[in-house]
Amino acid sequence: MGSNANGISNNGQVVGTQVDVNNVPTGANYTGTATNTSPLAAAAGQTAFGINSAGDVVGGSGSSAFYLPNGGTLQTLTTPAGADNAFGINDLGNIVGQYTAGADTPGFYLPSVSSTSFTTIDQPPGAASTVVNAQGVNNKGLIVGFYLGNDGQAHGFDANIANASGGTLVGTAIADPTIPSVPGEPGATFVFSQVLGVNDEGIAVGY
């Protein structure tokens, strides 16, 4: 047993989920600080991924996304239709995630939980796959995440909602980090990267 910390707000509130011995989420989600956590009333099978400074939480199960306002009742995201996971929420209430549209699974940007329209986030130019995970959004509208490249590996992207046009925003590929050679090690046979969060300074993190 253990836990994964999946998101942190600007005021230090953390959100995450408990995992079993195989590192599989148990559906028991929590929020709080490093010394004081409390359980979240999320539905069975749901994983909490993001939190903002107001304590509002977003997450999903891979088949439905949710929004849990601080002190409120769990809401299933109905916009966009087919929302699978909501991964990030900023202090303005903007939400990003991934949804299913036929055979495609692009990212999405939702201005607020009550919005009836959204922006689709597409893969960077040249990538044939339409698998896009929008993971984080800062208070300046900078979105980060990852997409499936033509090599079959995940690679990071960023995009700014200000550049959206006609309900669509195209990601810009982020170069994979260079892996240094290590004496005695065979070296990487492929490179992949996932960008998972970004702060208001535009500094992104991932692996």
Q: Is the pLDDT of residue 77 over 90?
A: yes
Predicted local confidence at residue 42, as pLDDT: 64
In the structure encoding, which two tokens stand for residue 121, read together?
A: 């986030």
In a domain, 11, yes or no: yes
146-150: list long-range contacts, CB under 8 Å, 24+ apart.
146/193, 146/194, 146/195, 146/206, 147/123, 147/171, 148/123, 150/126
State how many domains the chain has. 2
Predicted local confidence at residue 27, as pLDDT: 61
pTM passes above 0.85: yes
Q: Residues 139, 186: contact at Cβ < 8 Å?
A: no
Predicted local confidence at residue 192, as pLDDT: 81
In a domain, 143, yes or no: yes
Interacting residues of 24 by C-beta distance below 8 A, sequence separation 6+: none
| Overall average pLDDT of the 117-122 stretch | 98
12 and 95: one domain? no
Coil vs helix vs strand at 204: strand
54 and 86: one domain? no
- Residue-wise pLDDT for 79-106, tens only, equals 999 999 999 999 999 999 999 999 999 9
In a domain, 71, yes or no: no
pLDDT averaged over every residue in the chain: 89
Between 77 and 11, residue with greater pLDDT: 77
Q: Which DSSP letter does residue 50 get?
A: E
100 and 179: one domain? yes
Q: Residues 170, 164: contact at Cβ < 8 Å?
A: no
Between 69 and 44, residue with greater pLDDT: 69
Q: How far apart are CA 107 and CA 170, in angstroms?
A: 10
45 and 139: one domain? no
56 and 81: one domain? no
106 and 52: one domain? no
Among 84, 43, 42, 24, smallest CA distance to 60 is for: 84
90 and 55: one domain? no
7 and 38: one domain? yes
- Residue-wise pLDDT for 126-183, tens only, equals 999 999 999 999 999 999 999 999 999 999 999 999 999 999 999 999 998 877 778 8
Band (189; pLDDT cuts 50, 70, 90):
low
45 and 91: one domain? no
87 and 50: one domain? no
92 and 52: one domain? no
Between 193 and 22, residue with greater pLDDT: 193
Band (25; pLDDT cuts 50, 70, 90):
low
In a domain, 197, yes or no: yes
Full residue range of the structural domain in which residue 31 is found: 1-61
46 and 99: one domain? no
Among candidate residues 35, 61, 87, the one where a domain is terminated: 61
Band (26; pLDDT cuts 50, 70, 90):
low
